[in-house]
Structure 1
């Protein structure tokens, strides 16, 4: 036959066919054997003349994966060395946890930018971390949908924060989604008008349906700016992930950013991770708005329950902690806002309750006309007391149980927190006990009302306000009271946590507690430019303190009709009496300082806005204020910001109605006080606020 004989294909070609269909192997972990570059394991050798562009792309991908694995191994070793000395070591965390584990892979191929925690079921240790997804990786790496992201977060990413109290629980992971990550996971980069009004994506959205099919649930807030995705807990292990979407206004500019010049929309993801990671480490993992986080911090530091072993059965059961808020108690009519269900049918429609019907403990909002002598001053210096609400909560005794109604003219007991119906209209500040030095009562606000006006009859006051009337040397005769008999200093740990966070952040900005005088003022002037990210963190910490106190009496925000219960009423931490006590303590604390300054140096404020005290001055800074004797810098810290940085103080300068007609032409300078309102006054240092 003249045809060519049949020849079998070469062995090399036969070996290449199955190799072309082979999927890429996973990245080897640290310490494992790696094949030599350009060669395959076994006998599947490939020559250079048979390589395809796809093979070269696979080799490049393998080289990149090897580099990432090596970088992750180095990061794990460095974090392990740092975490060995970290505080927060919990029971059950054995030596060597996590050693030899393969570095986690993100569903879309991006390595987690933050430190990992041990495997599930273990207690956390070390610093808190928040994950920020920012890159848009190439296609085909893995499944890219919200259920896959949640699974990866719980099984491999190991983000979170260790518990702040031994009876508490570890914080759930938080992922911050950038616009690129939103596109990757099929989420809109901006909410529509209807979605913005609803505060969530509709239930018919593809992402919500994917989560439902995968067995995940959403809270009543739905898939919104702060979405919480969870499954029922399995024993002691929680299955919950929180998503933060800044593009949907999750980080409100009034709390997390600068109102005058927002920087979060253009902030680099690395800076955003540093910002929220530092907040989580120093305060706690963000849980929503700053107010919600401040409220959650109270519960995390004083959890309501603990595990207690039953001696009869040997099993653990839930027990209540005596030093925490453990249940919802009955409310008092004078302490609740106007829309509360308990007031239904009590008053006529649009009735404005009087101080004799409602507890009106609020911060100062007061101003007065300037005198002729004060009109000669060219400046108004506003001294802002930083962290004044948190400092007012320190050492404050609050009620931990329900109210007890006292009638028949009970005697006042300053150890019982609550609300007292008493007439303080007889208190005359000109006759107050100020160490023998008289004060001009007409130039000072009244300590018992937010607007500084003198009371006209019986009114409801919190315990700190009535106790201050006694401190001034006047008798008090309550007519009625609602008090709490089980008491405690519930907010002490909350204050200390926020104080330490604020002091550490200001130290990062170059402002330390040991500075005095001009050194302190110069450091505050440089602080905004020193580190913009840490400057945002300082504002967020202050917003957490202020918002947490306000959330104790969260009002109906339109969720339900008037006189219908709204969701906040079901919380154990909905306690308007605690909020009133803190605000009363803050207001009388400011007045106590004003009295001592007026008696010692003859300095009188012309306006007070919340915690900013406005004084007339010959110069643009606090040292220019007229004093009888110079302040002692070694004992009394000087106010903190210069006139060129008014953003550090919440200043309310008096308007045209508060002074002469030419007061509108005056220039106002702003400054702030040191890290808290706990400054001291004496005759030798009357100007140190």
Structure 2
């Protein structure tokens, strides 16, 4: 039988526990019964209205001393306004799962620099880790997950129970995916990094067996940044990429004193804080500061202004479907390529029996590769040091406007100009695209082979072209005037049109592969799945598709922002393959940082754009054959046609069965299919054409016409 001393000890232990609050719904009921608004309660608790909303919907819980004050208030209300048919009582809070430390891997890396994968044995099953505990002097990281919310991830990695990222607000609440909220006690950046790695349970599993897990991401609101000693804004720099804290800033000194390091890009909008790898252990945290414009409005429309929980939802869906953001969408697009095609894999040495790092077939390897001179840019050391004057590849997207002299009376009397936009045209072009994996070899008088990726010097000026269509060989749609360098797909299309080609010179690659295939597949699924969540599914007929596309952005602004970010990831990732030098102090012939990564591959960029432009011309040509219609203008993946009505259903080619004819433009939600971009009057389009402006640039924006150079 228990003694009195034992019973009193147990009671004292219970009294020392944290106050327990009623369920979120009961908190809201009590406040409403008392006739108090959320704003008035927020003032009394010295917090924000949004925080009170979070208390009442279960997204977050108060912390001391606000916790005790809130409980006292609720106890008073419960005594005055008991629930109908019940005595006033407090329901215990749900049990909180213990925190779990994320598995840590090797090697910090710049957002734009690939680091070889660590030498390690092939993956083996990982035994469950024991929950970590915090020192007795600090409060444990707790997770508050509403039961009614649907998980953003279909499965939860046991090593990362709280998802890939969190958005830290000024009150210490770290909002994660699936509506969870963690309590973060950190008051300095080093403390935040330690908490993230040791206690938060944040991170994401690698996308390839030979890759590495994603570093946890902490997004800081303006209030959180200020609480950590960071300035609310960074100003005084001409270029956004140069935004960073000075080396003598107190926060940078704190990081250094705690024996953490920053990457060469310093402490900017996207900062990586790490310690040098020790064996297989990786210690690296990615930080993103919202008030420093980490989430560019063009790629993440409206996200920076959302509430922290909604920001976490947007970034969490992107992380699940693409990868944890590691910088701009362009940086993330490039890093996704490496995450899906790691440069190395572990391989056992036959002589020593040890595991060594070996080349992973199909990847770009670990070493940067100089391009052939015609594939480079004019300022590249390969060009400057060799004195190359032989010209360059000009494989760019279309910017073409048809001459008004070629318009017929019949076309001019049509009432509408209608714009069609191809869904993620560059992504569609990346499908099953064979690119070079090795260094280029130089050839003269070589026979053209459409299966070999490379750059060819060919004269296509003799080919007769319809002036109502852009030339497939030049970005501005004009006829070539003599020999020029072209990527393989452009020359292959000339053959497809029935013309003889006789290369004068070529730079070709012997080792080839479909390097971008997994990148294409993952981004395609992300795009299609996000559109489907917005109500635009594959099973819709064309009329239903057009209706759904008119409404999809209003269906869920958060998911609409994810969709915009996915599209920006595609274009930005392709663009990063030929990143140019930055800064006004750069001098031609000097190497710039992007050249030191294996993914600086202008030839792969040229292959994607060449194939996309060829795909566009093939559709334009087939449309002319099937319907007799010719475009007014093309801008990248958007084409404008004269049309008899404001609906594409009235001029796109359909078979007698009602199905779209293959080969021309088709409506649909997958990459390469088309959607309606905008409708204006034919008079509006002709007026722009006469001014030398491109209707495809402005078809969506109505009367807001800018100069083409803007």
Interval containing the TM-score (normalised by the shorter chain): 0.7 to 0.9
1:282 is aligned to 2:259: no
CA shift for structure 1 position 344? 2.2
Match of 2:586 among 549, 560, 572: 560
1:359 is aligned to 2:393: yes
Q: Provide the aligned C-alpha RMSD in A.
A: 4.0
8 Å contact kept, 2:400–2:470: yes
8 Å contact kept, 1:357–1:460: yes
8 Å contact kept, 1:176–1:244: yes
Which whole-Å CA distance do the structure 2 matches of 1:364 and 1:663 have between them? 11
Number of residues of Structure 1 aligned to a counterpart in Structure 2: 578
Match of 2:411 among 374, 377, 382: 374
SS in 1 for 2:299: helix
Within-5 A mapping of 1:170-209: 170-194=213-237, 198-209=242-253
Within-5 A mapping of 1:251-330: 251-257=295-301, 263-326=302-365, 327-330=367-370
Structure 2 unpaired stretches of 5+: 19-63, 73-89, 101-121, 146-150, 174-182, 703-710
Match of 1:60 among 68, 93, 118: 68
SS in 2 for 1:193: coil
Which whole-Å CA distance do the structure 2 matches of 1:210 and 1:662 have between them? 54
CA shift for structure 1 position 134? 1.2
Aligned to 1:10: none
Which whole-Å CA distance do the structure 2 matches of 1:71 and 1:311 have between them? 53
SS in 2 for 1:384: strand
Aligned to 1:583: 609
Which whole-Å CA distance do the structure 1 matches of 2:251 and 2:332 have between them? 26
1:495 is aligned to 2:491: no
1:419 is aligned to 2:455: yes
8 Å contact kept, 1:419–1:462: yes
Aligned to 1:133: 168
Match of 2:433 among 396, 404, 420: 396
Within-5 A mapping of 1:429-508: 429=465, 441-508=466-533
CA shift for structure 1 position 322? 2.0
Structure 1 unpaired stretches of 5+: 1-14, 16-32, 42-55, 77-88, 258-262, 430-440, 672-689
Aligned to 2:371: 331
CA 1:229 to 1:338, structure 2 compared with 1: closer, same or farther past 3 Å?
same
CA shift for structure 1 position 517? 1.8
Match of 2:270 among 226, 237, 249: 226
Aligned to 2:689: 658
CA shift for structure 1 position 196? 7.2
Of 278-287 and 420-429, deviating more is 420-429
Which whole-Å CA distance do the structure 2 matches of 1:669 and 1:232 have between them? 50
SS in 2 for 1:131: strand
CA shift for structure 1 position 518? 1.2
1:164 is aligned to 2:180: no
Which whole-Å CA distance do the structure 1 matches of 2:609 and 2:638 have between them? 15
CA 1:173 to 1:265, structure 2 compared with 1: closer, same or farther past 3 Å?
closer
CA 1:68 to 1:244, structure 2 compared with 1: closer, same or farther past 3 Å?
farther
Instruction: Give the TM-score, by structure 1 length.
Output: 0.76
SS in 1 for 2:369: coil
8 Å contact kept, 1:171–1:285: yes
Which whole-Å CA distance do the structure 1 matches of 2:523 and 2:441 have between them? 32
1:72 is aligned to 2:105: no
CA 1:465 to 1:414, structure 2 compared with 1: closer, same or farther past 3 Å?
same
Match of 1:344 among 353, 371, 384: 384
Aligned to 2:124: 91
CA 1:103 to 1:231, structure 2 compared with 1: closer, same or farther past 3 Å?
closer
CA shift for structure 1 position 647? 8.0
Which whole-Å CA distance do the structure 2 matches of 1:413 and 1:323 have between them? 21
Which whole-Å CA distance do the structure 2 matches of 1:639 and 1:340 have between them? 42
Aligned to 2:283: 239
CA 1:213 to 1:68, structure 2 compared with 1: closer, same or farther past 3 Å?
farther
Which whole-Å CA distance do the structure 1 matches of 2:639 and 2:540 have between them? 22
8 Å contact kept, 1:123–1:162: no
8 Å contact kept, 1:124–1:170: no
Which whole-Å CA distance do the structure 2 matches of 1:381 and 1:550 have between them? 28
Instruction: Give the TM-score, by structure 2 length.
Output: 0.74
